[in-house]
Amino acid sequence: VIKCKAAVAWEAGKPLSFEEVEVAPPKAHEVRIKIVASAVCHTDAYTLSGADPEGCFPVILGHEGAGIVESVGEGVTKVKPGDTVIPLYIPQCGECKFCKNPKTNLCQKIRITQGKGLMPDGTSRFTCKGKQIYHFMGTSTFSEYTVVADISVAKIDAAAALDKVCLLGCGVSTGYGAALNTAKVEPGSTCAVFGLGAVGLAVIMGCKTAGAARIIGIDLNKDKFAKAKEFGAAECISPQDFKKPIQEVLMEMTDGGVDYSFECIGNVGVMRAALEACHKGWGVSVIVGVAGAGQEISTRPFQLVTGRTWKGTAFGGWKSVDNVPKLVNDYMAKKIKVDEFVTHTLPFDKINEAFELMHAGK
């Protein structure tokens, strides 16, 4: 058993608490990882807020991390102690019908237990002050050591900068893949990206890589426009600057609508606007943002009857074990940006400040 520091969420709506936790050794087909770096994501904040129907407390949050394998359980063959890895919230077992189907990346092998905050055998590896602590998204990167299933880990180049590539565990990969894999953006196309946080910027990067001719960024926070332009947005607009709905503004700007739109916020009203900003006959809108529990999307069916397509994506459609190492290699070969997504680097004990910066849009 390893004793280490972790940021524990004892209950919803309260700041994370720095605690000494005990991390049990890995059981069969499990891997214990020393986490070197972790990022914060709106999904962590969503669960912490209490709005997540799957949220269990007390829990160790965090799902964008990178580290070094400390030890492995029985039967683990793909990684060994000392390997550099990224934990994966969407695993890839290679055996279930989802893994065998090229149309999806949603491995279901450990979905039920992962959703309950437990390891595949239905127990937890974390305890604190004598209490069991739940896992989060199968990763729990807000701990100096964590235990994950062996199908939830990608071995990456040992020379990679872990304080950067941890972002490939969620946000950057998600947005980038939404453009390349889910929308399959075509050269010469026009794209609109709603929400210019890390995921939205990664979508812009993906659209640019795919050869989009015109990328329009949309956000209420104009402080985000300069960064979006650095990533490849031709222009940026705020819905507050117009009297009419943003979808009408976009249709006028683009002679009838965009070829591809992306919703990177998790707001069902914006999801509708993103669909309706698409061009009749062929426009495709991809939902990337995660909406709150119980919320529903709506539009007039005529929008779809007249040739628009509504799609969704999780982790950008990447089959995780296969593709995360390739994304790390692309970053190291300077084919994709990652450094540019990092605004602040803080010590672990300042994690609550990191959340404050994120909520402030900084």
CATH 3.40.50.920 fits 2-169+319-353, yes or no: no
Which residues does the chain have with pLDDT short of 50? Answer: none
pLDDT of residue 2: 98
Give the separation between CA 156 and CA 168, rounded to whole angstroms.
11
Q: What is the pLDDT of residue 195?
A: 98
Instruction: Identify the sign of the CA torsion 37, 42, 44, 49.
Output: positive
Tens of pLDDT, residues 75-93: 999 999 999 999 999 999 9
pLDDT (tens digit, 9 = 90+) per residue, 251-280? 999 999 999 999 999 999 999 999 999 999
Q: DSSP string covering 273-323, please?
A: HHHHTBPTTT-EEEE-SPPPTT------HHHHHTT-EEEE-SGGG--HHHH
* Closest residue by Cα to residue 208 from 340, 315, 321, 308: 340
- 71 touches 125 (CB < 8 A): no
pLDDT at 87: 98
Distance CA 318, CA 109 (A): 16
The predicted pLDDT at position 361 comes to 85
Question: Per CATH, which fold does 174-314 belong to?
Answer: Rossmann fold (3.40.50)
C-alpha distances out from residue 356 to 13, 19, 48, 141, 270, Å: 13, 20, 13, 18, 24
Which helix or strand (DSSP H or E) is residue 272 part of?
helix 268-276
β-pairing, 284-287 vs 309-312, is parallel
Residue spans of the domains in the chain: they are: 2-169+319-353, 174-314
